[in-house]
A = this chain, B = another copy of it.
Amino acid sequence: MRPPAQNAELALLLEVSGTPKPGNVDRRRNLSELRYEHFLAGAVGARDGLRMAEHGAALGAAFERAVAGMSAQRGGNTQFGALLLLVPLTRAAGEDLSPPVLESILEGTTVADAADFYRAFEHVDVGVGEPPEGLEALDVRRGSDAIPDLEERGLTLLDVMDRSAPVDDVAREWVTGFERSFIAAERITDADGPATDRAAVTFLSLLAERPDTFVAKRHDEGVAREVTDRAADLYDRDALDRDPEAVEDFADELVSRGINPGTTADLTAAGLFIALEHDTLEI
């Protein structure tokens, strides 16, 4: 058995290697400043923080360390969202990767975890939207400057995720028991072929059923909806198998329009990790 931190790093590597993954960097596609090799280095760099999580460290500290390591490359943010899923999953897997253990870990987060989460934003430029009205003081882009406001309100990391859940599908996982991550793991298990092919089809299935919240933030909800509708059309007609060129064209088009469904990639990485841990995906 590979230890959880190794599986988490491997999940990041398999995720970025899945191709085609429309709109994202994959092993056949670089964006202009963000290349495949930056994701490899990001995964390698994240490992020490993931190991902290495996060994039971506080989620905030492990996450900040993972993000600091991930950021030690020149491409910018590669896997911030994926780590926000993988750190709690890896911590749970250090004990037992089951919904009750995971839930108790999330509910056990503290204000200090939330502070470390805010500190993590100082390591790398993360694409986030404007905070909701009245929550400007808690804008993550303030980094550690927001910590006194966090402390004053007594918000734990789970509280912070709860506030972001309506507009961010990574945060939403924290308040739904990682619902879509577990669904992704099932699909990866049920798919055929190499892990990287399973990653690609699972990515497309997830994109097909719910607009990507990263796309919605960077562009708008209309664009996110359009991308999902087109992914649904490709997925429904099994285009990865039957009309792969159509998926490649869609991938190229999204890249050229600067549309990157990053949240969907994060969920795919989480699903890969769960399937590796449950030994339903063997490498």
A278 at the interface (CB under 8 A from B): no
Contact in complex: A74, B37 (CB < 8 Å):
no
Q: How many monomers of this chain does the complex have?
A: 2
Residues of B within 8 A of A17 (CB): 27, 36-37, 40
Q: Does A44 lie at the interface of the complex (its beta carbon under 8 Å from any beta carbon of B)?
A: yes
Q: Judge whether A73 is part of the interface by a CB distance below 8 angstroms.
A: yes
Whether B44 contacts A74 by the Cβ 8 Å rule is: no
Q: Is A100 in the interface zone, CB < 8 Å from B? A: no
Is the beta-carbon distance between B196 and A6 smaller than 8 angstroms?
Answer: no
Instruction: Give Cα A38–Cα B13 distance, bound, in whole angstroms.
Output: 11
Nearest B residue to A281 by beta-carbon distance?
B37
Once the chains bind, are B283 and A73 in contact (CB under 8 Å)? yes
Closest to A283 in B: B41
Give complex CA distance A28, B29 in Å: 12
Whether A21 is near chain B, meaning CB under 8 Å from some CB there, is no
State whether the Cβ of A10 lies closer than 8 Å to any Cβ in chain B.
yes
- A119 within 8 Å of B (CB atoms): no
Q: Is the C-beta of A108 less than 8 angstroms from some C-beta in chain B?
A: no
A175 within 8 Å of B (CB atoms): no
Q: How many residues of A contact B (CB 8 A)?
A: 27
Report the Cα distance A37→B19, complex, angstroms: 13
Contact residues in B for A35 (Cβ distance below 8 Å): 194
A9 to B42 CA separation, bound complex (whole angstroms): 12
- Residues 13-27 of A contacting B (Cβ, < 8 Å): 13-14, 17, 27
Known: A10-B41, A10-B44, A45-B2. Contact between A196 and B36, CB under 8 A? yes
Residues of B near A13 (CB, < 8 A) are: 13, 40, 44
A38 to B47 CA separation, bound complex (whole angstroms):
18
With both chains docked as a complex, state the minimum distance between the C-beta of A28 and any C-beta of chain B, in angstroms.
Answer: 7
Please name the 10 residue pairs, one residue from A and one from B, whose CB atoms are nearest each other, closest first.
Answer: A27-B27, A41-B283, A13-B40, A37-B195, A10-B44, A73-B283, A6-B44, A9-B44, A37-B283, A35-B194
